[in-house]
Amino acid sequence: MPEQTPKLGIKKPLGNETVSRAAFNENYDIIDQNAASQADLDAHLAESTQKHITESGSNANGEYIRFDDGTQICWGKIDVDMSILTDQTVDYPANFNVASDRIAGGYSLEGTLGSIIDAWVNSKGIVATGPSKWSVRIRSDESATAATVTLKLFAIGRWK
């Protein structure tokens, strides 16, 4: 009884077996059933060209990734001084296409949960994403539970 290859199940005759034309053709049929056609390969290549990373990098403002389809993701951190009631900003690590008004963003708090959350919530902190930077504003100076709050920020939009 011949052994079979682990991936395709092609029959490998033993040293004492005679190979018949039928067994040889059966192996070709197994290969043909498991092989991709040129059309399958072309379709795969066309689909995957829209999923590659074009560029990525980092600088003092954070990190970014740019994809072939024009999507860009930026992330970074900002230490927010809880005593400043005007905008505190940080530029994106890479520019978005300013003609596109579709920049979405978000944030998370970093640090010890109790005092950090109290400071942020009590001070009514807000985060906005603009065409070139994140803006953070504290709307009240009522909380003194933390002098600074570190925010992890992200923004998603178009670079082309």
Do 91 and 28 share a domain, yes or no? no
Per cent of the chain over pLDDT 90 is 18
Asked, for residue 46, whether it belongs to a domain, the answer is no
Asked, for residue 40, whether it belongs to a domain, the answer is no
- 82 pLDDT higher than 70: yes
Do 79 and 150 meet the contact criterion of CB atoms below 8 Å apart? Answer: yes
Do 145 and 95 share a domain, yes or no? yes
User: What pTM value is reported for the model?
Assistant: 0.64
Q: Please tell me the distance from the alpha carbon of residue 149 to that of residue 136, in angstroms, as a whole number.
A: 11
Strands across the sheet containing 133-137: 88-91, 133-137, 126-129
Helix (H, G, I), strand (E, B) or coil at 43: helix
pLDDT in tens, 28-70: 888 888 888 888 888 887 777 667 888 999 999 999 999 988 8
Domain hosting residue 12, numbered range: 3-35
Do 86 and 151 share a domain, yes or no? yes
Do 130 and 57 share a domain, yes or no? yes
